[in-house]
Structure 1
């Protein structure tokens, strides 16, 4: 980022308020933490289809977005990104409405109506700040939160200065927007790891005079605008490279699982007859389960269920075709009894 850019006020990501799961207060804290941290993460191996909203298409900006998706993919993560033309076929729908940039976080995009954007990029992406914005918003789509709101950062703000700064151009934020996107600290239950990464792509660049402590940041926070080493490490924890060959799960076979929170089990399903099947998890655990069909080398989601925080197990029902290949992916949030978790289809 140039000196001129650092001296000029920057437009910032204006994050929409994501729903927070309401969990029973008597639920053990370790279970709550596992559910809250994992709720926005995709099942690893999910092919994320993205499309550009036809009302605001901008071909020059779109190329920067494609390059940014490639940059995340080049880390070796287990997610795939597929561009499609019809937004109705995409989980991630990208607009270029001028003014604000934002994205829903992770799987929250699935709760949005199909005719709405799940991400907006509201300014020119063809300079350093614009490219960093595209990487940042895709980071939100992967399930990453704002780094400066990490309670482990220990940031003490000059709150009056922050409100004044953000009320001015180019952001013109009201106090609620400023609080939600900057001053509000994430609940410790939402935070992964114990470190603050001031170089994160999810960190804003702030001018001098807004931070009181840590003292070394009184003159400003200036991340390089790139995916940091810690960003890469964190995203690879959730989305490690996929195994080339998957174990096969046969009908009526109960496959025991030994997963820790955040870990995932993947299996190939090759039904021998065409009929309606049930696929489910069993045991004292919170899990998200997704079934995909292999269509010409691309996995298409057939059905999904998430039992986190509920007194039941994840289960889906779908008609499976003999001779076709399906992939079952299930991620563990939390298990509170060892050795009692399994998956099966029947």
Structure 2
């Protein structure tokens, strides 16, 4: 029997090379893995460009992307814009894969961020799950699967995947560090979980292919840690004035994301940073877009504070601030933007 078709997980080198500290969540397992720092701004509309594909292939992609848009506070605009957030190819020699969330903006605009080389079942929905920030369930550090590595390496070396050992280790055996993800109780029905036969494991775990979003998939992406629909559209952004005194702000609840907006009158180098004892994470989007990620930072400023210094064109910019620990972190901070 041939091996199941598997998705090629595009994980950035900076994430692959992080040391792994394992942690077991409630009940011993976690699911619907959302790697921290890869979610889009809640309420965003993601522009999508098809780089090939037949009319029926494109229609299938649009149909299954809508499954996510129906349940969470994100929309997809299939406008084929040259600088679209998501760019999709349909190369049947390159399998199925996608970058994870905002990692898409680490890919040059002339290259794909997703490939739909096959469209079996819910494959397109699975890849759009990656595109909005979800990772593979089996990549959880508490996933509960003990691999029979020799069997997996042999099976995936043959059809239909033809993976070498390094590719298989990257896509199957890789585990995120516990502090890199958000997750909840394990869900065997998640569309982000692939089918693995019993002979691939040493502890008898068997999974099956899921072709539709599970109830827990829907609940998770619509929850506070991802894209709640409580405020349709972009949340109100607090105004920042370039060169003004530092603004007091507060992460009042775990998972909260503060959104700020400022206007750059002229081209130049701008510095955005936070101060205080709270460990926060900073993202900068623009110009005139809440999805075009320019830069992000964790600890380049004072202490545990982020700092972004970058040349900007004239225009409007969005700044997103969240606690590094989205599960439990809260606290006060100040923020400011200055032009050098």
* TM bracket, shorter-chain basis: 0.7 to 0.9
Return 304-313 or 239-248, whichever deviates more. 239-248
Instruction: Give the equivalent residue in structure 2 for 1:52.
Output: 50
Higher share of residues assigned helix: 1
CA contact (8 A) 2:251 2:257 kept: no
Conservation of the 8 A alpha-carbon contact between 1:43 and 1:290: no
Equivalent pair of 1:205/1:221 in contact (CA under 8 Å): yes
Deviation at 1:281, TM superposition (A): 4.2
CA contact (8 A) 2:287 2:313 kept: no
- Pairwise CA distance, 1:23: 9.8
Equivalent position of 1:341 in the other structure: 333
Scaled by the length of structure 2, what TM-score is found?
A: 0.76
Aligned to 1:112: 107
The answer to whether 1:241 aligns with 2:229 is: yes
Deviation at 1:93, TM superposition (A): 0.5
Paired residues, number: 308
Structure 2: distance between partners of 1:320 and 1:13: 40
In structure 2, relative to structure 1, the CA distance for the partners of 1:320 and 1:173 (3 Å cut) is closer
Contact 2:145 2:201 in 1 (8 A): yes
Report the CA distance between 1:147 and its aligned residue: 0.6
- Please identify the structure whose Cα radius of gyration is greater: 1
Q: How does 1:55-134 map to 2 (within 5 A)?
A: 56-75=52-71, 77-86=72-81, 88-99=82-93, 100-123=95-118, 125=119, 130-134=120-124
1:232 equivalent in structure 2 = 218
Within 1, Cα distance between the matches of 2:239 and 2:7? 43
Structure 1 length-normalised TM: 0.75
Alignment of 1:313-328 (within 5 A): 313-314=307-308, 328=318
What is residue 12 of structure 1 aligned with on the other side?
Answer: 6
Say if 2:282 is the partner of 1:288.
Answer: yes
User: Which blocks of at least 5 consecutive residues in structure 2 are unaligned?
Assistant: 24-33
Question: Using the alignment, how far apart are the partners of 2:280 and 2:179 within structure 1?
Answer: 16
The SS at the match of 2:110 is: coil
SS in 2 for 1:89: coil
Alpha-carbon distance in 1 for matches of 2:77, 2:197: 37
Using the TM superposition, give the Cα deviation of residue 139 of structure 1 relative to its aligned residue in structure 2, in angstroms: 1.1
The alignment partner of 1:63 has SS state of helix
**Correspondence for 1:33:** none
Give, in whole Å, the separation in 2 of the partners of 1:70 and 1:314.
34
Query: Are 1:40 and 2:77 counterparts?
Result: no
Q: CA offsets per residue over residues 189-209 of structure 1, 9 Å max, x none?
A: 233235332221111112342
Query: Where does structure 1 lack aligned partners over 5 or more consecutive residues?
Result: 1-6, 30-35
Q: Kindly indicate whether the alpha-carbon contact (under 8 Å) linking 2:194 and 2:210 is maintained by their aligned counterparts in 1.
A: no
Match of 1:69, SS?
helix
Q: Cα RMSD (Å) of the superposition?
A: 3.5
CA displacement 1:184-241 (0-9 Å, x = unmatched): 333222332353322211111123422232x4x3xx3114322222222332222222
Residues 98-147 of structure 1: per-residue CA shift (max 9 Å, x gap) = 12111111121111111111110112x2xxxx241111111111121111
Partner of 1:137: 127
Q: Secondary structure at the match of 2:283?
A: strand
**Cα distance in structure 1, aligned partners of 2:313 and 2:258:** 22
Q: Does 1:258 align with 2:251?
A: yes
Q: Deviations over 1:65-112 (max 9, x none)?
A: 10111110111x2222111224x3212110001121111111211111
| Residue 319 (structure 1) shift | 6.3
For 2:185 and 2:212, the matched residues in 1 are separated by: 18
Deviations 1:39-65, CA, capped at 9 Å, x for gaps: 322222332111011xx3221111011
